[in-house]
Structure 1
Amino acid sequence: MSLVTEEIKANAEVYYGDEICKEKSKFLLTEVGLPNGLLPLEDIEECGYVKETGFVWLKQKKKIDHKFEKIGKLVSYAAEVTAYVEPNKIKKLSGVKVKEFLIWITLSEIYVDDPPTGKITFKTPAGLSRTFPVSAFQLEEVKEVEAGKEGNDQ
């Protein structure tokens, strides 16, 4: 069951399509002081943001698994990811799990200490947490710009 109701959508900025949703999600992450590579979603169909409450959602065609190479962690993103954002923090997160040893563990909160070069902490509903360098989740913007230039040269 979706947490995103028509009532919520009525008060939100809503976008449709993979390209604009990726752009908006990276922008929002940066805007609240979180690394822009935190949500490496694919085939996003819809995204939205309710500025008054901080509620955000992203809907993709199907769940995906993504490995963050710099820390060697596999993360699973459900077809619908929801959360509340505030400066340097994501709370009440749903739809995101991380693989620890042989089991999948639900994440409920993500926050950054001493942004932008500090540490990022991931918490579970049980209160367990792991901390990593923020840089492990930061996209290299320069590469994206260079890739765009190569495409324009042809």
Structure 2
Amino acid sequence: MAINPKSHHDLTLLTLSLFFFITITPSSSLTYDSNQTVYEILPKFGLPSGLLPDSVADYSFSSDGRFVVHLERTCYVEFDYLVYYDTTITGKLSYGSITDLKGIQVRRFFLWLDVDEIKVDLPPSESIYFQVGFINKKLDIDQFKTIHSCRDSVMGSCLGSLKRAFELPAPVDEIPMLLTE
């Protein structure tokens, strides 16, 4: 039985194409090790580790990118805006974005609004984008590179801001006198 060289060549090209497609696809190169912390996983997806506060108790991550993060308690973190984290945060993680996000809210004026999606530029830039309803807010990514500590209540943040607004300058021990005669 003779093998048609043209069909053999086509089959080889098809096999090589599939091999390269499978090995180059971003989702296949993003491996997940159950011994890693969620803070180690986020950068593997092109996202800063400081998107979540320091109170993560545990998390689960499925092969389709869906995740559940449990915090020790609800908390607040001050970025450019005050952010509230529920005890359970869910969403879908893919390279450069978190979609279907639930459990994170941001205070804008006197309203608490759900953060629906988080994205970064590809290739990476100095910006991160938060989808809040129909509003897309661009922020500097540097403030999300470090993991922040939780505050137990929004009042601590507000009272601290009010206190700073009404503080008097520190006492001055000496006031230089400039007298010219």
- Which stretch has the larger CA shift, 109-118 or 28-37? 109-118
CA displacement, residues 106-144 of structure 1 (integer Å, 9 cap, x when unaligned)? 0110000145433110002x321110111121128xxxx
What corresponds to 2:102 in structure 1? 94
Counterpart for residue 132 of structure 1? 139
Higher Cα Rg, which structure:
2
Name stretches of at least 5 consecutive residues in structure 1 with no aligned partner: 1-12, 141-154
Partners of 1:134 and 1:115 in 2: CA distance: 14
Q: Distance in 2 between matches of 1:14 and 1:97?
A: 29
Which amino acid in structure 1 is aligned with residue 142 of structure 2? S
- 1:68-99 CA-to-partner distances (Å, cap 9, x unmatched) read 2xx2x110000100110000000000000001
User: Helix, strand or coil: the match of 1:30?
Assistant: helix
Shift of 1:40: 1.1
Give the equivalent residue in structure 1 for 2:51: 38
Say which SS state the counterpart of residue 142 (structure 2) adopts: helix
Distance 2:45 2:33 in 1: 18
RMSD: 2.1
Matched residues, number: 116
Q: Aligned in 2, Cα 1:115/1:77: closer, same or farther, shift over 3 Å?
A: farther
Q: Give secondary structure in 1 for the equivalent of 2:37.
A: helix
Q: Distance in 1 between matches of 2:66 and 2:54?
A: 18
Richer in helix (by share): 2
CA contact (8 A) 1:14 1:46 kept: no
TM-score, structure 1 normalization: 0.68
Match runs of 1:37-56 below 5 Å: 37-42=50-55, 44-50=56-62, 52-56=63-67
Superposed, 1:80-119 pairs within 5 Å as 80-119=88-127
Task: Tell whether the 8 Å contact from 1:33 to 1:115 is kept in structure 2 after alignment.
Answer: no
Gaps of at least 5 residues in structure 2 are 1-31, 148-181
What SS does structure 1 have at the residue aligned with 2:88? strand
Matched to 1:33, the amino acid is G
Aligned amino acid, residue 81 of structure 1: I
Structure-1 separation of matches of 2:70 and 2:135? 27
Per the normalisation by structure 2, the TM-score is 0.58
Q: 1:14 offset after TM fit, Å?
A: 9.7
Aligned equivalents of 1:105 and 1:84: distance in 2? Answer: 19
